[in-house]
Amino acid sequence: MSRSIYGPPVTLGLSAASALLLMVHAEATDLPARKPGLWEVKTTIEGHGRAVTVQQCIDAATDQMLQSSAGSFAAPACPEREVKKSDNGTTIDSRCNFNGKAANAHAVITGSFDSAYTMTVTSEGADLPAMTMTSEGKWLGACAAGQQPGDVVMANGVKVNIPELQKRALAPDPSQPGK
């Protein structure tokens, strides 16, 4: 378990705000599909340390899965969503309920889902600190040898395959008969 230098209340607030920021990603149908191949995505949360960079090998199915990172939690938590598309990009305004408290998120997405894009999300809520998260995606080309769609290479070099993780999470635990 990792420790925070900020202490439990701040850590909880940051975790809740980060979850709210991820909820904006949850409606993958709101965004155009990214070009298949290898993407580098650098994410920064303003005022909270350095950027985290990952590489994602995607096809159409895994792109939607990765953009839907909050999963089924997003729909009930953010029942009100307004998407506006223009020549300059897309904005998504979400009104959410997080642990019984109202919260809002505003996302602005610019660029091209064929080569490079930037998404900036600001969020705030009753018990959440105001936060700004910026994700910058850059298409690097075809996936590297040995990579398959759904592979995510973390900043520390660890590779995980998201579809495989989901299969394992949904599989019954053989050590728990009757569950």
pLDDT tens by residue, 86-126: 888 999 888 888 778 888 889 899 999 999 999 999 988 87
Instruction: Kindly state whether residue 3 falls inside one of the protein's structural domains.
Output: no
| DSSP 8-state code for residue 30 | G
What's the average model confidence in pLDDT over 146-165? Answer: 92
Instruction: Kindly state whether residue 1 falls inside one of the protein's structural domains.
Output: no
Query: Does residue 37 register a pLDDT over 90?
Result: yes
* Residue range(s) defining the domain that contains residue 15: 8-170
Instruction: Kindly state whether residue 146 falls inside one of the protein's structural domains.
Output: yes
**Number of folded domains that form the chain:** 1
Query: Does residue 131 register a pLDDT over 70?
Result: yes
Q: How confident is the model at residue 29 (pLDDT cuts 50, 70, 90)?
A: low
Whole-number Å distance between alpha carbons of 19 and 32: 22
Torsion of CA 11, 13, 17, 20, to 10 degrees: 110
Instruction: Kindly state whether residue 56 falls inside one of the protein's structural domains.
Output: yes
Instruction: Kindly state whether residue 40 falls inside one of the protein's structural domains.
Output: yes
Q: Which of 1-5, 12-16, 50-54 has the highest mean pLDDT?
A: 50-54
Whole-number Å distance between alpha carbons of 136 and 113: 11
Instruction: Kindly state whether residue 108 falls inside one of the protein's structural domains.
Output: yes
Share above pLDDT 70 across residues of the chain, in percent, rounded to a whole number: 73
Q: How confident is the model at residue 54 (pLDDT cuts 50, 70, 90)?
A: very high
Q: Identify the pLDDT of residue 38.
A: 97
Instruction: Kindly state whether residue 2 falls inside one of the protein's structural domains.
Output: no
Instruction: Kindly state whether residue 179 falls inside one of the protein's structural domains.
Output: no
What's the average model confidence in pLDDT over 3-14? Answer: 34
Q: Identify the pLDDT of residue 44.
A: 93
Q: Identify the pLDDT of residue 28.
A: 52
Which of 68, 130, 128, 134 lies closest to 98, judged by CA? 128
Q: How confident is the model at residue 77 (pLDDT cuts 50, 70, 90)?
A: confident
Contact 98, 116 (CB under 8 A): no
What's the average model confidence in pLDDT over 129-137? Answer: 90
